Amino acid sequence: MPDNASAQQPGQPAQGPNEHYHQPLNQPRALRIGVAGPVGTGKSSILATLCRELAGELSMAVVTNDIYTDEDARFLRSAGVLPTERIRAVETGACPHTAIRDDVSANLDAVEDLEEAYGPLDLVLIESGGDNLTATFSPALADAQLFSIDVAGGGDVARKGGPGITGADLLVINKTDLAPHVEVDVAAMVADAERARDGLPVLALSKHDPESIARLADWVRAVLVRHRSGTHVPTDPGPMAPHSHSHDGS
């Protein structure tokens, strides 16, 4: 299915198990930033950090994705980073990439429901379920993409490549405060990532480092400025590598 095949037309019914209508928005559409990365790399923590930093100046909402639960949404609600009603969970029931790339209708429904209920919104953050290094968002869903890896995954992760690492709008090397404990050289990891990304930005991040948090928030602000001016063009890091999963124990 083409990546944009699931893009809902204004005033048309959402396609999926809970079909319903969305009226055309009489307001500017929010910037949508997708956050992807392997399991355990701190995606939910990144969302919580951005909400803490930006909710005082921007009207925000969050959509999380999990296969069978709403665990990430519950984490964010319990953290108190946004009003609980502005945090929606999508239970994909399938591989995480399915709902962010192959058929984005459930996520589009959640985003558009939030915009109708609480708009005008400035920013919607969409967290993918944990996947592999090739996970990417369809441009029909996300205007910009952040991909998270972390030092605990090993100092060689950035060298392994994949569309998420090489093509996302921002690559975050997360949990840098743990580097001494896992014997990872953060500077070398950043250098590897920069070589893999051919000039695209790389950010070494720790939730305990205010300077790195400020740089993350500034990146979001810069994308938002371009989005509002009409100069930001969503890019596609590339399709995931062909692969399959078995979910039935077979």
**Alpha helix locations (H) across 119-209?**
163-167, 179-182, 186-197
Binding-site residue set for GTP: 37-44
The answer to whether 27 touches 154, Cβ cutoff 8 Å, is no
Provide the 8-state DSSP code for 153. G
What gap in Å lies between CA 202 and CA 7, rounded to an integer?
Answer: 30
What gap in Å lies between CA 30 and CA 119, rounded to an integer?
Answer: 8
CA angle 73, 32, 110 (to 5 degrees): 50
Contacts of 80 (CB under 8 A, 6+ apart): none
222 is written with which tokens? 């810069």
Contacts of 128 (CB under 8 A, 6+ apart): 34, 35, 36, 37, 43, 65, 96, 97, 99, 100, 135, 137
88 is written with which tokens? 């929606």
DSSP H or E stretch at residue 156: none
Provide the 8-state DSSP code for 13. B
Binding-site residue set: 37-44
13 is written with which tokens? 């019914």
